[in-house]
Structure 1
């Protein structure tokens, strides 16, 4: 049976977004309460725990959430304009869709991020991060804003609101570091769409492949996390509109679903399991290091997967995302699994989860494990005999407290995400829509206000330069070419 691109199931995109938001939560839980999960074992002479084994370690060790969001950004930003241009044959409508999407993207990201930053600022002023500043988890201490006087807190608020979008630094919510590159990445997609909208299919595909290759071979920071993933999303959105590609997938569904996709997932999952530290502690991680990171043994060169000079941990995770995205594209059964209504609900709330989970973890989650007051506390300094006194950080209450904290934190996060989408995100969407209606002309063409600005229309209130002038014989209705 031939595939119909216009009837393709793309609900899996929302489901994948929901899974990704859950992955972000679990990796930050492991960072806060069980950091050795990022290692291949707890030390160099003990056997690994179950969750430290290859494949099973993927959700906990992190590094895959943001690249998936980048891939989804590339796919979602490209899908509708491509559908307008190549299924409905309406390139002008596609370009207008790109223009409106480009206009909506900044306020739809910036407004919610500002509100989340302000909430964290209020908690900082009220002393909500005192326990987080004093706990024995370095990652939590680094993420939590320091306790400073109110006036300096005000200055830091305005500074963070700006620096989030200039250098990715937000001291009230460091998880917002990805917002700026995702915003820039969306515009990267819009530029590519506008530049290639009139090309023939094979040349557009060539552009996407060249962009993926360029970003992959570029060893600057985060090129594999954003540039390559965005281009991959645009490529798959393009192929999702291509009838011959969909017919090929339908004709070879068994082979692709039960052979090719599992092999890709096995290969990508093994590479993506590369540990964040201490890769020399386990045999499997030593083998992986030799294969893809240091094949010669003298650090003189890398590999195709991890070029020399690139970020090893992000490269391995990005390779896993590439294999996973390709598997999802060629295996409709995986798309159906991700189209479950629970995953779609999680996906609908994913942006809210991303914005609120860090604040809840550093307050309520840490309060349960370390106490609300942050006491007893004695700052580092000198002992009575003049000897230096090292800082002693607060210790956790125990494993039961951590389990309770994880349960309460996860529940509160999704309740807060639901409320955020119902009230905050809805208000931001209305504000963005109002602004879009004010800025853009009518959907069906240039409206009266747009014509009046050019001096060709009479506004209802009588302002303007009068009605459109009558043409004299021989005059053009349009400017000459």
Structure 2
């Protein structure tokens, strides 16, 4: 029997998560071994390479992985409570789902992140980042923790375990900078859901649209990366369960799939190709800069970050295209992409350490020698350090292959042992806090004063006291 329009599968969400994890490691590989891919050409007068052209440059130039994770956070965090509240008409269960999800979110993010940080700490104590500290890739050097004494490393471990969640700084794994805003963003979704759970559909839609507009008009750092994407995810989660909307999509599949979705991807992809640097080195990037950045625009307001704003516009276009096109959703529901999506969080946590060790060892050597540190010249002037140069393109190719295989093997092992252990701890905490057993639940109610145990051990209703004609609750 065919799936009803308002019961459409959302497996594509997991597939999109898998694609996003691949995009994250792809852009980090390009940052490490071919940073010029972030530019529209290798030099001002140079001819662009194939992967530097519009559209083709998007996977390599970065800036889209974390915002897509933010969009997915908004969608996934909202989907189940909304399904309980409206299609199933169970507001109480929806609120309970929000409460449980809000409780689970911190340990499910914090515990795995702490394990990944500790692993990188152990690697640092063994001196395995020496080659990364001395290679000629500025981005790799910035990402790799400096070699310090064991005592100082221990101090940094405790400090960075806290600062990851206070100011996004993680010396041992800088890729965890997004963990804090994603955690805060999830609670943003929970608050919005709880505040709008009793509203009519059109007013809930208005709230989501106003939130998107607010975050896009806000020119503070990363508002378009997290705030707007989270609100968009919540909006589409609402519409994915709205029967009239799904009926409209089902009755106009051809138009939406073959006209509207491709048009959105073409426009969004061209704007999203805006380079991170040297936009004046190519005609197409000068065109984007002139009409979107100079003087400000709807897409790139004044004083905002052009490269993040253009990427956010592309992600919004891509998200709406996926929502409107069942064919694209079916494509993303492939079991390989779902497998990748299931391992995406593990990939995010383990890939940085592997890139800064094994991949760098293959390209630059494991010893970090020969290396000439900074010092003084004979005439007393400062001398810059002489960084280690890469061995050549064949080594980079081997490094990328080994890094990719090792990353996904490690992610599989992580999900089997580390993530499952963290899930069990979280589940145990949840059962203790929420009282999953009937007796525990009743005891919890009695403990809070909401229930009274009668002589037979059952739960009786709260007593009602009369004060004249007015009923008052028990003290």
Give the TM bin, normalised by the shorter chain.
Answer: over 0.9
- 1:443 and 1:292 mapped to 2: Cα distance? 58
- 2:89 and 2:396 mapped to 1: Cα distance? 56
Which residue does 2:165 correspond to in 1? 165
Q: Residue by residue, what CA displacement relative to the aligned partner does 1:150-180 show, whole Å, maximum 9, x if unpaired?
A: 1111111111000000000000000000000
Secondary structure in structure 2 of the residue aligned to 1:87: coil
Confirm or deny that 1:423 pairs with 2:417. yes
Which residue does 2:230 correspond to in 1? 230
Confirm or deny that 1:144 pairs with 2:144. yes
Q: Residue by residue, what CA displacement relative to the aligned partner does 1:299-328 show, whole Å, maximum 9, x if unpaired?
A: xx3000000011111000000000000000
Secondary structure in structure 2 of the residue aligned to 1:447: helix
Work out which of the residue numbers 315, 322, 335 in structure 2 matches 1:328. Answer: 322
Give structure 2 stretches of 5+ with no counterpart.
none
Which residue does 1:41 correspond to in 2? 41
Residue pairs, 1:53-132, within 5 angstroms = 53-132=53-132
Let me know the Cα RMSD of the aligned residues: 2.3
Which residue does 1:298 correspond to in 2? none
How far off is 1:388 after superposition?
3.5
1:40–1:162 CA distance, 2 compared to 1 (3 A): same
How far off is 1:382 after superposition?
2.0
1:213–1:471 CA distance, 2 compared to 1 (3 A): closer
- 2:458 and 2:167 mapped to 1: Cα distance? 50
Residue pairs, 1:190-205, within 5 angstroms = 190-205=190-205
1:228–1:445 CA distance, 2 compared to 1 (3 A): farther
- 2:264 and 2:439 mapped to 1: Cα distance? 47
How far off is 1:182 after superposition?
0.1
Which residue does 1:297 correspond to in 2? none
Residue pairs, 1:291-306, within 5 angstroms = 291-294=291-294, 301-306=295-300
Q: Residue by residue, what CA displacement relative to the aligned partner does 1:174-223 show, whole Å, maximum 9, x if unpaired?
A: 00000000000000000000000000000000000000000000000000
How far off is 1:3 after superposition?
7.1
Q: Residue by residue, what CA displacement relative to the aligned partner does 1:240-291 show, whole Å, maximum 9, x if unpaired?
A: 0100000000111111100000000000000000001110111000111111
When the two structures are aligned, how many residues end up with a matched partner? 470
1:445–1:19 CA distance, 2 compared to 1 (3 A): farther
Q: Residue by residue, what CA displacement relative to the aligned partner does 1:222-243 show, whole Å, maximum 9, x if unpaired?
A: 0000000000000000000100
- Are the aligned partners of 2:14 and 2:333 in contact in 1 as well (CA < 8 Å)? yes
Work out which of the residue numbers 329, 345, 351 in structure 2 matches 1:357. Answer: 351
1:330–1:37 CA distance, 2 compared to 1 (3 A): same
Confirm or deny that 1:271 pairs with 2:233. no
- Are the aligned partners of 2:5 and 2:250 in contact in 1 as well (CA < 8 Å)? no
1:19–1:465 CA distance, 2 compared to 1 (3 A): same
Q: Residue by residue, what CA displacement relative to the aligned partner does 1:119-166 show, whole Å, maximum 9, x if unpaired?
A: 000000000100000000000000000001111111111110000000
Q: Residue by residue, what CA displacement relative to the aligned partner does 1:323-345 show, whole Å, maximum 9, x if unpaired?
A: 00000000000000000000000
- Are the aligned partners of 1:67 and 1:229 in contact in 2 as well (CA < 8 Å)? yes
Work out which of the residue numbers 295, 303, 327 in structure 2 matches 1:309. Answer: 303
TM-score, length-scaled by structure 2: 0.95
- 1:447 and 1:51 mapped to 2: Cα distance? 58
- Are the aligned partners of 1:38 and 1:60 in contact in 2 as well (CA < 8 Å)? yes
- 1:5 and 1:435 mapped to 2: Cα distance? 37
How far off is 1:383 after superposition?
3.6
Work out which of the residue numbers 380, 398, 407 in structure 2 matches 1:404. Answer: 398
1:88–1:471 CA distance, 2 compared to 1 (3 A): closer
Give structure 1 stretches of 5+ with no counterpart.
295-300
